[in-house]
Amino acid sequence: MPEIMPFAGLLYSPALLEDASNLICPPYDVIPPALQDELYQRSEVNAVRLELPKEADPYAAAAGRIAEWLRSGALRVDDRPALYPYFQTFTDPSGREFTRRGFFAAMRLSDFTEKKVLPHEKTLSGPKADRLNLYRRTRTNISPVFGIYADEAGTADQLMKEYAEAHQPVLDAMLQGVRNRMWRIDEPGLLQRLQGCLSERTVYIADGHHRYETGLNYRNERAAANPGHDGSEPYNFILTYLANMYDEGLVVFPIHRLLHGIDGFDAAAFTRRLGEYFTVTELGGRDALDAFLDGEPSSYAYGVVLPDKVLGIVLAGEPDSVLDSSCPDALRRLGLVVLHDLVLGRLLGIGAEALAGQKNVVYRKDEDEVFRAVGAGEAQAGFVVKPTTVRQVIDVSEGGDVMPQKSTFFYPKIMTGLVFHSLG
């Protein structure tokens, strides 16, 4: 594992934290305009005003606010370096309650070639340029990278659980149906034990690939401009939330696909083409589709939502028969790779560039939205997919490969505003 360090976080004042539900926000990439407006109304110091400002120059606005909030006491620098356990309690769509346990730390940035931190998704230039401008102006990590590590014994999880049971959280906030609680640990002995039990482990980026790559670019930029650079500067580290892949609260939801803008799309002809490669079953509706996917062991099973019918499809042959021979083994085991390469690419003619630009495909986390959009004529078809597993994420990462975009949705998102990290 890369070096994991306690850090003196930037925190909201204790008085403000008494109403912490009005301070935190989701990460920038899942804040639509309506939610941005709502969060602005909640508080003059809601973290959205740093994470996604409305101003024409959002970067200057965020930098100015950090300086002003520090002057006014709304923000403060923590007294001592600490690690910050962060627990999120939530229910899944079936009503089961989970608590995901992890912690915030300052993680040393390392190039992917060093194999200490590994990605699993492709990144796009636009979000990285945006985040780099924010880093430059604010010199602050406002929202964290989300990393996972493998510790089957769960030693760090147990240490954090015991600490949380004996201490009150410094923050307890509800947002979007998720309870968010954070503690701070600054006891040297306990910090040493937490750091020790995580040594020699790889970190796999679950979410925040753009933020991590931006952190690397920003570090390189600052290092080149600093004649005295020695590697100890805060900009060599990035705010990271770390969770154990064996934590029962580490849940991955699927991200479904909606098809639009295909010239001459014919649902009946498309169904016939599917029959050349898949076993196709016509289903009675949403409930039947959910039962079909739950009961189908194949990774290459999908739901197809059309204006007049719902289909369950399963790849009839082996993936080797439809994928290019150069496709790595870890990717061959992913259902989304067959969906993208065979169905979207070969059958529908949607290329990689169109996928990246969402020209013909958009992504939705809510299965209800798939049915609604197709029924309303806003989409030509919808593809309901199974979730990617954490094991698949790690296998792809370790192989040095990347998944199709929007392959994973680690739920819930790590909220912004619990703690910030100064880059010096």
Instruction: Say whether pLDDT at 172 is over 80.
Output: yes
Q: Are 420 and 25 in contact (CB under 8 A)?
A: no
Q: Does any domain span residue 394? A: no
Looking at the structure, do residues 294 and 370 belong to the same domain, yes or no?
A: yes
Looking at the structure, do residues 229 and 291 belong to the same domain, yes or no?
A: no
Looking at the structure, do residues 150 and 194 belong to the same domain, yes or no?
A: yes
Looking at the DSSP assignment, which residues form a beta bridge with residue 175? 178
Instruction: Say whether pLDDT at 241 is over 80.
Output: yes
- The pLDDT assigned to 264 comes to 92
pLDDT in tens, 20-75: 999 999 999 899 999 999 999 999 999 999 999 999 999 999 999 999 999 999 99
C-alpha 251 chain-centroid distance? 11
Structure tokens at 38: 């709502």
Structure tokens at 272: 């016939």
Instruction: Say whether pLDDT at 148 is over 90.
Output: yes
CATH number at 322 reads 3.30.1760
HEC letters along 82-100: EEEEEEEEEECCCCCEEEE
**What is residue 415's DSSP assignment?**
P
Q: Are 190 and 163 in contact (CB under 8 A)?
A: yes
Range of lowest pLDDT (174-183, 218-227, 297-306, 318-327):
318-327
Q: Does any domain span residue 12? A: yes
Mean pLDDT of 129-151: 96
Instruction: Say whether pLDDT at 235 is over 80.
Output: yes
Please state whether beta strands 145-149 and 237-244 pair in parallel, antiparallel, or not at all (unpaired): parallel
Tell me which range, 155-159, 193-197, 393-397, is most confidently predicted by mean pLDDT.
Answer: 155-159
- The pLDDT assigned to 401 comes to 87
Cα–Cα dist 144/139, whole Å: 14
Q: Please report, for residues 88, 335, 337, the alpha-carbon distance to residue 330 in angstroms, rounded to integers and kept in the order given.
A: 30, 11, 10
Q: Does any domain span residue 395? A: no
Looking at the structure, do residues 201 and 274 belong to the same domain, yes or no?
A: no
Instruction: Say whether pLDDT at 127 is over 90.
Output: no
Q: Does any domain span residue 322? A: yes
Instruction: Say whether pLDDT at 228 is over 80.
Output: yes
- The pLDDT assigned to 198 comes to 81
Cα–Cα dist 320/104, whole Å: 42
Number of domain units in the chain? 2
Mean pLDDT of 192-198: 88
Looking at the structure, do residues 238 and 295 belong to the same domain, yes or no?
A: no
Looking at the structure, do residues 260 and 247 belong to the same domain, yes or no?
A: no
Q: Are 37 and 46 in contact (CB under 8 A)?
A: no
Structure tokens at 51: 């994470």
pLDDT in tens, 63-98: 999 999 999 999 999 999 999 999 999 998 889 999
- Domain with 214 in it: 4-251+411-422
212 residue type, one letter: Y
Helices within 141-259 (DSSP H only): 155-166, 188-197, 209-224
| Collapsed DSSP state (helix, strand, coil) of residue 328 | coil
300 residue type, one letter: Y
Looking at the structure, do residues 193 and 326 belong to the same domain, yes or no?
A: no
Angle between helices 155-166 and 188-197 in degrees, nearest 10: 150
Looking at the structure, do residues 213 and 237 belong to the same domain, yes or no?
A: yes
Looking at the structure, do residues 265 and 214 belong to the same domain, yes or no?
A: no
37 residue type, one letter: D
- The pLDDT assigned to 352 comes to 77
Structure tokens at 337: 């790779």
Higher-pLDDT residue of 57 and 401 is 57
Place of tokens 């299965």: 367
Mean pLDDT for the chain overall: 94
Burial (CB count within 10 angstroms: exposed 0-12, middle 13-18, buried 19+), residue 40: middle
Looking at the structure, do residues 268 and 220 belong to the same domain, yes or no?
A: no
- The pLDDT assigned to 227 comes to 97
Cα–Cα dist 304/16, whole Å: 48
Give 340's pLDDT tier (boundaries 50, 70, 90). very high
Burial (CB count within 10 angstroms: exposed 0-12, middle 13-18, buried 19+), residue 296: middle
Q: Does any domain span residue 400? A: no
Q: What is the torsional sign of CA 47, 51, 54, 59?
A: positive
Mean pLDDT of 96-105: 96
Q: Does any domain span residue 103? A: yes
CA angle, 363 then 146 then 327, to 5°: 55
Place of tokens 């739901």: 303
Looking at the structure, do residues 38 and 142 belong to the same domain, yes or no?
A: yes
Q: Does any domain span residue 404? A: no
Looking at the structure, do residues 326 and 286 belong to the same domain, yes or no?
A: yes
pTM: 0.91
Mean pLDDT of 6-19: 97
Contacts of 233 by beta carbon, 8 Å cutoff, 6+ apart: 222, 223, 226, 424
- The pLDDT assigned to 346 comes to 93
Cα–Cα dist 176/1, whole Å: 32
Structure tokens at 203: 């970190």
281 residue type, one letter: T
